[in-house]
């Protein structure tokens, strides 16, 4: 066989091999397994580790012998707007059936998502949505109805500071879609001149980039800059833990109330010693658990994701996709305090 024919033969083999990966809709050539990816905002974030627990639990229930699914947990070290693009592209190249991603931007990944979907990979936004870019994903899995979070956070702080005083918000990154949605909601509520919040003043929003060190620095700066500060809302698990640690170290829990969205496992010591009076969250593992059951319904039961469609999600029961393309694990955020914290370990 001459060189030209050898080159042609090798090229045809490569094309056939690549087709085998993608023709199976995410089934890896040879193994027959369906590939599921989870790309968090950044690695090393305890919140996304908690979501991962749900993926693991559902996979053990549905695939105890580990013969049907490959689960890959991968992502960037830091949560920049475009830092996830290469991970989505690599997952698609590797034949992903479904990518669950907590996007770091509302729109920076739109073209990447579109390309993935054209090549047969489902894009599931997890723990949030991408407002204004919903057409670029298949379904958004939200831990609760996110439209209720801003109100719930303000109501909680209102009770902690008796409805009076200056407060600040310590958020994640400036581009974080979920945090920005909640902050916009809080601003809108305050702008309505509701008598309930008439004596509460939002003085500043700062960003800790979901990094403990930067969140600590921003909290310290708030205390220095605003001597009359009465409360801080940190709608991010990294931020609330860092902010409450500052309060604990300074011994000023009686003067400044810190609340927000936290993990029970990280906030336990602060609840026990009184540094935090309480915080809110939902059930992060339930998000990953629900996602695996949705993929399983699609792969094995003929389920097609879309508004109005329903599927069975194990212990979570029947789940129906909303007209907006969203699904919720619960309706509103749950309050965690000294009365119930011991019942939760995530």
Domains of the chain: residue spans and CATH: 10-143+284-329 (3.40.50.2300), 147-281 (3.40.50.2300)
Mean pLDDT for all residues in the chain: 91
Is 51 within 8 Å of 287 (Cβ atoms)? yes
Instruction: Give per-residue pLDDT as tens, 88-108.
Output: 999 999 999 999 999 999 999
pTM, 2 dp: 0.83
Whether 65 contacts 3, CB under 8 Å: no
Instruction: Answer whether residue 141 shows pLDDT above 50.
Output: yes
Tell me the average pLDDT across 212-229. 98
> Cα-flanking dihedrals φ and ψ of residue 27, to 5°?
-85, 125
Of 37-51, 54-68, 182-196, 331-345, the poorest mean pLDDT is in 331-345
Average pLDDT of span 103-114 = 97
Whether pLDDT at 327 is above 90: yes
Task: Provide the pLDDT for residue 31.
Answer: 60
> Are the beta carbons of 243 and 215 closer than 8 angstroms?
yes
pLDDT at 189 over 90: yes
Query: Residue 105: exposed, middle, or buried by beta-carbon count in 10 A (0-12, 13-18, 19+)?
Result: buried
Taking the C-alpha atoms of residue 116 and residue 258, their distance in angstroms, rounded to an integer, is 41
HSE-up (13 A, CA, CB side) for residue 178: 26
The string of pLDDT tens digits covering residues 292-320 is: 999 999 999 999 999 999 999 999 999 99
- Indicate whether 248 pLDDT > 60: yes
User: Average of pLDDT values for 273-300?
Assistant: 96
């Amino acid at each position: 066989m001459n060189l030209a024919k050898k080159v042609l033969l090798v090229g045809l083999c490569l094309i056939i091999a690549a087709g085998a990966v993608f023709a199976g809709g995410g089934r890896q050539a040879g193994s027959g397994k369906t590939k599921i990816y989870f790309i968090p905002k950044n690695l090393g974030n305890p919140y996304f580790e908690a979501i991962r627990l749900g993926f693991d639990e559902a996979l053990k229930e549905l695939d105890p012998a580990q013969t049907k699914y490959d689960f890959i947990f991968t992502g960037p070290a830091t949560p920049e707007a475009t830092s996830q693009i290469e991970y989505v592209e690599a997952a698609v190249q590797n034949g992903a059936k479904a990518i669950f991603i907590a996007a770091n931007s509302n729109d920076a990944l739109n073209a990447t998502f579109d390309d993935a979907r054209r090549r047969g990979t489902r894009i599931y936004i997890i723990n949030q949505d991408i407002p204004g870019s919903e057409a670029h994903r298949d379904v958004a899995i939200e831990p609760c109805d996110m439209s209720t979070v801003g109100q719930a956070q303000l109501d909680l702080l209102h009770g902690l500071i008796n409805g009076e005083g200056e407060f600040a918000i310590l958020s994640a990154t400036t581009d974080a879609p979920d945090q920005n949605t909640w902050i916009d909601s809080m601003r809108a509520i305050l702008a309505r001149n509701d008598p309930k919040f008439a004596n509460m003043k939002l003085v500043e929003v700062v960003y800790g980039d979901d990094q403990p060190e930067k969140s600590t620095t921003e909290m310290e700066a708030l205390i220095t800059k605003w001597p009359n500060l009465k409360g801080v809302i940190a709608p991010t698990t990294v931020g609330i833990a860092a902010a409450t640690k500052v309060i604990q170290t300074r011994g000023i829990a009686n003067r400044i109330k810190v609340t927000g969205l936290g993990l029970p496992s990280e906030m336990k010591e602060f609840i026990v010693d009184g540094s935090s009076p309480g915080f809110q969250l939902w059930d992060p593992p339930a998000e990953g658990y629900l996602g695996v059951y949705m993929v399983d319904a699609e792969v094995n039961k003929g389920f097609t994701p879309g508004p109005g469609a329903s599927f069975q999600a194990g212990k979570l029961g029947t789940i129906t996709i909303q007209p907006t393309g969203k699904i919720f694990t619960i309706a509103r955020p749950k309050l965690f305090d000294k009365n119930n914290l011991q019942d939760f370990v995530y």
